[in-house]
Chain A
Amino acid sequence: MTNAPLKGIKVLDLTIVLAGPTCGRTLAQYGAEVIKIDPESRKPQLYQWIDVSRGKKSVSLNLKRPGGKETFLELAKTADVILEGFRKGTTDRLGIGYEQIKKINPKLIYASINCYGHKGPWQFRPGFEQNAQAVTGIQMRNGSNESGPRAATYTLNDYGTGLAAAYGVMLALLERNKTNKGKHIGASLAVTSTFLTGPYATNYKNKPPENDIGGPGLRGKTPLSSLYECKNNEWILFKINNNTQWISLISTDQFKNLENNSLFSSSSLREKNSSELYLFLGEIIKTKTSSEWISFFKNLSIPAIKNTLSQEIHSSKYNVSRKMIVSKDYSNSNLSLYKEWGQTTWAGNPVYMSNYDLPAINPSMFSEHTTETLKKTGLSLSDIKKMKEEGTVPKEEMLPFSPDSSEPL
């Protein structure tokens, strides 16, 4: 990784759950040395670790035990970036807040990640993905007040906030190249959620009351951009954007009955009679399988795709072959802790850069790099032994993870 964009950048990652660790993982992907720091009591669940701690070194250090904070500050002196996702005020109380770190390392980039934003009355409140989805309207648009709110498909605010924070950290590093100064940046789940809501999170004069489309059983914005069930019970989505595509559709044998149907003879009539058009198209789509329709629409240059389930994406051999699903078998590992992981999978890297091959990044074991990292701060083996006795670092060199459970997301 001699040409990595973040070569030589050292990151101390104090974050947990998904958002903050996603930021650290992204920085590792661009070549930063990312050191994940957790006390032994905060061991994450294995699936989360595999997901968002890949490419990182793992140090277990309790900042509240003897020597813990001092060791962290020693690491911070030579770090370029600190990532934290504590409730606001916690890092100040621990003595590792931005203003405190700035005194010993003025060039450091400090990224704070929280749920509701860094200003306003809720800045001190804790929250997770689901709370950000709820408060910003995502869940209510997926459900209703009568049937209840419904969560979004994936934990997109968490991952999105991690990506946003990585963008912010890298921007601050770019700026530091010019100014030689550090920066404190913030990202938050509710801000990301609002950003993802995009044009629906707007208000202006004469805004129409209902511009917000969502909810169980809704198939699309219009019949010409909708989900339809096929003969084999799979669903497809096709999208007709213009009159040329419409003409090409109704010129086919399958859809020729539409050509002379006065209900659909102009785009305004198709809009007016959209319910009828949806039923009409639905009956036709039900006569062939999804793969038959995909070929059919491809021949007409009309974009169409099979509606895919995440488990299909996971089990696709094609996705494994193109390394978007990474599969690694730990069953034969020499280390018994790794052996327990068995056949393991995670998502691959979606970025292509012509001057940099983003590396394959693997998960380490919890606390695997504690001793080697602490030694680099000047601590001797006897100092580290004492820290083990005092509960600042774990007694064992490596520790197993907590089992996956209902930890809040």
Chain B
Amino acid sequence: MGFLEGYKVLEISRYPAGSILGMMLADEKAEVTKILFPNINPKQESVEFSVWNRGKNILNANIFNDSTSLQNILNLCTTADIIIICLDPEEIDKYSLTYDSLKGESVVVSLPCFPPGHTLDYLPPEEEIGAASSGIYSLNPAGKLPVPGEGPSFHSLYYSSNFAAMTASSAVVGALLQKNMTGLGQQISVSLHDAMYQGMGGNLIRHSKRSEGRQVAHPVIGRAYQCKDDKWININMSHPRFLEPFLKSIGKPEWLEELNDLETLLKDDLSLNMYKEKFALLWKEKTAKEWEDKLGDIGVPGSISRTIDEWIDEEQANLSEAIININDSYFGKMKQPGKLIQDL
């Protein structure tokens, strides 16, 4: 049972953003048909392909080199409730895959890298292009913006593709709700670059007393500490509602007043450094797992900085369905990320 049972989706996507949106709809049991054609990203028989195309019907049709295949797909478009287009910008016009050309009653959602009319709208919806244009590789919250001399840091997570898909998902359902009232389809466009502005969120907020996008950290209480077993614990307890029970639990309730009085603390280097040292040493008294369990028991936010592989094997990941078991046609039995929404 899923929320989108009975809805038909046609996915014409060369890039991850379109596949991810298709997966989100397939996870809710929409009947998603993905058109497979040459030079598709992700490639077939890759982990990316297996994850982002789970639950879909795969239809092999070389639509960009075969006019009959293209016409067959255009005919299929007339029966789809939702059509996902995520292609190179020039392909959309060349093969008449625009909303106006399709002329159906479908919801047609396109996921370009930049919105139409933008000075960079010629660029394809490649993850790395969307990500680099959105500052994801540039800001290092642990230090300055970016860390001097370090330069940007690449990572391979598909944030801008995911944010485009997640942002578009609500718009798609909004369009279906409207269609229930009007009977009309419509065009939706969400670009990878612009979708990331929602992910930047607070970094883009300014007001009279906020001249930059960064958050000011507590001068003593950091976020990550190395424990007795050299593993790291990430804590989030600078707020008094967490700091107070924590200090009580370690028998140091007397620290609370000074740690909360930031104005005084910042003027007193000696106290500041003393508390920093005490706080860092504290975590060396127990293993990361012992601290994590203790913090969990007293209701204070804290978790071990795990590797992804450690998280996949964690009981909580599996019981909470953050990780699910899939029988994939290529990889066989497989653990994959779960769907975003749980029916409670």
Contacts and interface: CB of A to CB of B under 8 A. Distances in A.
B209 interface: yes
Contacts of A140: 232, 305-308
A320 to B, nearest CB: 11
Interface in A316-352: 318, 322, 324-325, 340-348, 350-352
Contacts of B58: none
Contact of A229 (B151, B200, B307): B151
Contacts of A324: 194, 197
Contact of B174 (A212, A298, A307, A353): A353
A404 B216 contact: yes
Interface residues of B, number: 149
A184 B344 contact: yes
A289 B4 CA distance: 49
B47 A199 contact: yes
Contact of B307 (A47, A141, A154): A141
Contact of A141 (B184, B238, B308): B308
Given A136-B306, A218-B153, A237-B132, A149 B234 contact: yes
Contact of B321 (A119, A204, A298, A312): A119
Nearest to B178: A5
A133 B331 CA distance: 27
Nearest to B20: A198
A174 B176 contact: yes
A156 B159 contact: yes
Contacts of B142: 143, 148, 150-151
A271 interface: no
A149 B305 CA distance: 7
Given A167-B341, A204-B335, A214-B155, A5 B174 contact: yes
Contact of B342 (A118, A131, A160, A242): A118
Interface string B152-193: 111111110011001111110111111011101011111100
A81 interface: no
Interface string B315-344: 111111111000010011111111111111
B135 interface: yes
A175 B7 CA distance: 12
Nearest to A219: B154
Nearest to B219: A406
B341 A164 contact: yes
A237 B155 CA distance: 13
Contact of B48 (A26, A152, A199, A305): A199
A186 B137 CA distance: 31
B250 interface: no
A6 interface: yes
Contacts of B341: 164-165, 167-168, 171, 185-187
A61 B154 CA distance: 46
A127 B236 contact: yes
Contacts of B182: 3, 355
Interface string B119-147: 11011101011001111111111100111
A218 B154 contact: yes
B191 A137 contact: no
Interface string A1-27: 001011000000000001000100010
B150 interface: yes
Nearest to A23: B170
Given A47-B205, A130-B234, A314-B213, A221 B340 contact: no
Contact of A314 (B146, B162, B206, B239): B206
A286 B123 CA distance: 23
A163 B169 contact: yes
Contacts of A160: 162-163, 166, 199
Interface stretch (B68-76, B270-278, B295-303): B295-303
Interface of B: 3-4, 20, 24, 28, 39, 41-42, 46-48, 50-52, 99, 115, 118-120, 122-124, 126, 128-129, 132-142, 145-147, 150-159, 162-163, 166-171, 173-178, 180-182, 184, 186-191, 194-195, 197-210, 212-213, 215-218, 223-224, 226, 230-234, 236-239, 242, 296, 299-323, 328, 331-344
Given A219-B151, A322-B115, 15 more contacts: A48-B202, A52-B201, A117-B320, A119-B342, A120-B316, A122-B316, A164-B341, A171-B3, A173-B177, A187-B342, A194-B322, A199-B48, A204-B331, A205-B333, A408-B236
